[in-house]
Structure formats: C-alpha cells, structure tokens
Structure 1
Amino acid sequence: MAGPAYPFTNFNFSVEINRGGEAKPLVNAAFAECDGLEMSMEVKTIREGGANGRQIRLNGGTSYGQLVLKRGMSDNFELWDWFRDSIADPRLRANAEVVLLAPDGNTVRARFVLSRCVPVKLKAPPLNARDGQIAIEELQMAYETLTLKRPDQQ
C-alpha cells in the first residue's frame, strides 16, 4: 500500500522559453518568481421552461492567464531583444515550459507547457540608491494554451 502523497514544493523550478525555430532556449537565466499558470472555463447556464428547480450547465470558452516572471537583472538582455523583435514582427511567437522540480533540483515533477507566447509587458527594475537591493526585472507574457505534461510523458 502506498503512503500519503506529499504536495510538491514551489521553490525549485526552471523556465524554458524557445522562440520560433531557434534551437537554443531564449533565456538561460533563472527566475526568482513565476506566477500566472492558470486557466478558467466560462459556464453557460440554461433554464428549461417549467423546470424551476433545475438549471443546465454547459461548458463555455476557456481563457488563460498571463505569466509573470521576475528575475535579477544581469547582462543577459535576451528578454529585451525578444520584446523589441515582437514589436517589429507582431507574428513572432515563442513556446515555453515551466518545469517544477523536486528539492534535489534534477527530478522533474511536472511541466506546464505554454504555446504561442507573446511578451506583453517588460518592466525595468525600480532604482533606489539607498536600498542596495538586487535590481529585479519583470516580464509578463500572454499564452494561447496551457497543458500539463506529467513526468511519465516526458
């Protein structure tokens, strides 16, 4: 008999962004935060005449969130290049995977696959000479679909 299933931890993950037909990932830097892996379904409600105590629920359209990634700014400007290139060519898309890892940093627990991503906001870090904090940049990107790939499907 198997023991209880323990929940995954959220501190060990990687993000892989691949632009168009390029072989190497767009970004080779680690992100400190990742949020916005979500999808929701609109529900249509239909009332049947004469059946006042019941309603029919039908699946409606699915909508997807917006991924928000934050990282310490470095001399890797690939996100800025991608945003600039997307302005020049609005058809430019990328595919991305957010990989949830086990505490050992190697074992893949799950992959969230995002298709046809486009950057929608790129925010430079706030600057403050008094703080001495790490400069954190933020990328927001929209995606068209979100699927979960289990470890046995790798």
Structure 2
Amino acid sequence: MSEVLKAINFADREPTLSHRFGVFFLKGGLIPNPIDLRFQRVSGISTEVQLETINEGGENLHAHRLPSRMSYNNLVLERGYIASAIPSPLNIEFNAAFSFYKFNPSDVLITLFNESSVPIGGWLFKKAYPVKWSVSDLDAQSNSVAVDTMELAYTRFQILRM
C-alpha cells in the first residue's frame, strides 16, 4: 500500500466505540486481579491543569495565568452487585478500607479494545485506593439490577496509545 493510502486510512478511521473495555487491578504493579475485570461503566477519566493568577504591578489589561499543579477526578466504577462463592478481591479491598481504615494502593489499567479484542489504548492510574462505595437503591417495586458503585482516588494517570 502506498504511503498516501496509509495516511488516508489513518486519518479516516472510524471513531472507537466505548463499550469494549476492561479494568485490570494490578497487584504489585504487575499481576492483574483475575476476578474483578468486568464493569458496566467507568467514568471520571479526566485531568486538569490548575492555574495560578499573578497580577503585575502597573499592568491593568491582563493578569498572568501560570500552571501550578494537576488535579484529577475520582475514578468511578459501576458493576452489578457480586454475590458469588468466590470472594472478590476488590470487595475485600474496599471492605478493609471502610471497616479497618487499611489502604493498599494498587495500579489500575483501563484498556479500550477494538472489535477484534485487540487493545488500542488505555489509561494507567497510579496508586489508586478506595474513597467511596455505594449500592443502588433497593426497591421492591422495581425489577432492576443492584449496582455497586466504587470510587478510587489516585496520584496520577498516564494515557496509553497503541
């Protein structure tokens, strides 16, 4: 294929669909948790540069806006309530945090897949730890799935493109 056709194919790619993803909790930074992989929704993947405003003496037309630090939203994971004979390591981790105030930060890798299940990108969240855990409302008049919502704070994240 000519270089021109390769460039056109690269530029005209279809937008990536957001429903093919996996969440991998990496113990020790390497070994993925084999049970807690599937989630129905992930949100909070965002970062922002905080700005500091400095006013210059005698300059009234503008102020200097300088980057000061990064801020991150909490990573929010949603999944169906797990009631299994095999204990969920993630549920154990959240329970330890909220029952005993014991935190064991780990890295979290969220991977986006193409239609052939090949990773095409992702985000690596460093030193993530639990900060909020909630369960959807229990309603006797509803026939909906009970959903666990888990929030994690983290020190920073890296964008991965493959």
Paired position in structure 2 for 1:133: 144
CA contact (8 A) 2:36 2:88 kept: no
Larger Rg: 2
Instruction: Name the CA distance, whole Å, in 2 between partners of 1:52 and 1:22.
Output: 53
How many Å separate the matches in 1 of 2:133 and 2:47?
A: 22
Structure 2: gaps of 5 or more residues? none
Aligned to 1:48: 56
Structure 2 CA distance, aligned partners of 1:51 and 1:21? Answer: 50
**TM-score under structure 2 normalisation?**
0.80
Aligned residue number for residue 101 of structure 1: 113
Identity %: 23
Q: CA deviation at 1:85?
A: 2.6
Instruction: Determine which of 46, 55, 73 is the counterpart of 2:81.
Output: 73
**One-letter amino acid of the structure 2 residue matched with residue 10 of structure 1:** S
The count of residues paired between Structure 1 and Structure 2 equals 150
Q: CA 1:24–1:16 in 2, change beyond 3 Å: closer, same or farther?
A: closer
Deviation sequence 1:77-119 (CA, Å, 0-9, x none): 3322011233536341111011111133x12121100011111
More divergent stretch after superposition (7-16 vs 46-55):
46-55
Equivalent residue in structure 2 for 1:62, among 70, 86, 89: 70
Corresponding residue for residue 122 of structure 2: 111
Q: AA paired with 1:83? A: F
5+ long unaligned stretches in structure 1: none
Q: CA RMSD in A?
A: 2.2
State the distance in 1 between where 2:22 and 2:134 align. 20
